[in-house]
Amino acid sequence: MKNETLFGEDDGLCIPAVGPWTEDKFDLIRLYCQIFSTAMKKRTRVYIDLYAGSGLCRIESRSQVLLGSPLIALSVDAPFDRYIFSESNPERFSALQTRVAGAFSDKRTHLIEGGFEEHVEEICAAIPDNALVLCFVDPFDCNFDFRGLEKISESAKGVDFVCLLALQMDAKRNVQHYLQPNSKVDRMLGNITWRDRWNARSNPREDFAKFLAKEFADSMLGIGYLQTHLHQMKEVKTHDKNVPLYYLAMFSKHPTAFKLWEEVLKYSNPQRSLF
């Protein structure tokens, strides 16, 4: 199977419903997996998906079935040398396991049932020391542990992250809740001092989601990654009302990755219509 399409077929297993904007997200992931794996094909390459899902999803109000990020990564023309998938939902994990074993039995895969934070040592142990790693972090909200990402970042010679930052669809809708003592955003950012910087901001109208995106980028900077600026992040919006949902951001320790990411942002498809 070549990585020429985002579309799959209903196989009778678990297929979660998703919004139409998910097609934009997976199109970007498809392009970046393709360009990353091809550009680095002389090196040992590992793809990690920390919120892998079931492998397929269906766009709400449409019959179209999309390949999820694991099957997209497995389908690249220059395959990764190893794949590591983590999924906490039992039904989705079982469906993913069946799909991977069926169509991709020739690939070297390591599937983990459970949240990645609980299995971070297992994930790190499965990564060769000399590998170049692309790790996709695709949570439903802001509820993940930055320290888990930090441990993964130390597990190989080079680990790049593509992170979905659900800041508009979660944090921005719950500003007052998160400004109170609350560990959720603290865990995502890896620090508890961000509220001090928010309260001391010079612009009282500063957008909360943009502020947290910059804070997350600074946290990545603090563990050795190059600076990712807001304009280098892809903002994904709803198709009907053009409402911002989340950022997709790439983090790397190597300038070459930013050149690849820039190409992907340049050539990824524009927002699609609802029909």
CB 72 within 8 A of CB 30: yes
CA distances from 88 to 96, 99, 179, 184, 256 (A): 11, 17, 28, 18, 33
The whole-number average pLDDT for the span 201-218 is 94
pLDDT value of position 32: 95
The whole-number average pLDDT for the span 231-256 is 92
pLDDT above 90 as % of the chain: 79
- pLDDT tens column, 188-200: 999 999 999 999 9
pLDDT band at 4 (very low <50, low <70, confident <90, very high): low
- pLDDT tens column, 58-117: 998 788 899 999 999 999 999 999 999 999 999 999 999 999 999 999 999 999 999 999
pLDDT value of position 269: 53
CB 108 within 8 A of CB 81: yes
pLDDT value of position 138: 97
The whole-number average pLDDT for the span 211-237 is 96
As a whole number of angstroms, the distance between CA 247 and CA 231 comes to: 10
Listed residue (135, 132, 83) closest to 106, CA to CA: 83
CA distances from 67 to 6, 72, 171 (A): 5, 6, 28
pLDDT value of position 144: 94
CB 32 within 8 A of CB 75: no
pLDDT value of position 181: 80
Mean pLDDT of the chain: 92
pLDDT value of position 270: 52
Pinpoint the alpha helices (H) of the chain: 22-39, 69-74, 90-103, 120-125, 146-153, 175-179, 183-189, 194-199, 208-222, 255-267
pLDDT band at 5 (very low <50, low <70, confident <90, very high): low
- pLDDT tens column, 19-61: 989 998 999 999 999 999 999 989 999 999 999 999 999 998 7
pLDDT band at 238 (very low <50, low <70, confident <90, very high): confident
CB 244 within 8 A of CB 170: no
Domains of the chain, CATH where assigned = 17-267 (3.40.50.150)
